[in-house]
Structure 1
Amino acid sequence: MSVQRYELVFPDDEGTDHDVVVVDRTEAKGPGGHPVYADASGIVRAEISDRGEVRMLASGGQQAPMRRVEARLLPEDPV
């Protein structure tokens, strides 16, 4: 079974606060061959390995990818 949803946690520079974005698995593969996950807008995109390693992917020309991002596995939506 493959993981379908994650929360991406973006800490601030001081490590005292953070933003959280929910991403769902897409059909795409990233440069490392792992699945790409995206938020509903398609702006936040990340390749996430089976070990939870996150590689942020730029979706526009002015983005600067964050270096420290944590991926938290989310349970599947009940059917």
Structure 2
Amino acid sequence: MSERAGFELTFTNPLPVDGAPAQQVVEVFATTAIGSGGYPIYVDASKIIRAEISDAGQVRMIASGGGQRPQSPSAVHRLPPADER
């Protein structure tokens, strides 16, 4: 499996409302697309969350629809290969 298989992105909600969790963790997986920085584009299962992630784990969030202002994650962790989960 590719070393770029996936990442966990943790998003922190500074103002949780109506019982929303203060943190949400989303798994994203590599696509065949390459971002403007030359790194792979990763998406979640819904394909709403899109991010270009460098080999060093730097994240650039990408809007997947009009009017979005994607929040940057507060933490990024590489997922272990599928056979180690």
In which range does the TM-score fall when normalised by the shorter chain? 0.7 to 0.9
State whether residues 54 and 70 of structure 1, in contact with CA within 8 Å, keep that contact through their aligned partners in structure 2.
Answer: no
- Which blocks of at least 5 consecutive residues in structure 2 are unaligned? 16-21
Find the partner of 1:77 among 64, 76, 82.
Answer: 82
Report Cα offsets for 1:14-33 as digits up to 9, x if no partner: 6xx31110000000011111
Highest Rg: 1 or 2? 2
Identity of aligned residues (%): 46
Q: CA RMSD in A?
A: 2.0
- Which blocks of at least 5 consecutive residues in structure 1 are unaligned? none
In the superposition, the TM-score normalised over structure 2's length comes to 0.80
Show the counterpart of 1:6: 7
Show the counterpart of 1:18: 23
Runs of 4+ in 1 over 3 A off after TM superposition: none
The residue type equivalent to 2:40 in the other structure is: P
Distance 1:4 1:67 in 2: 20
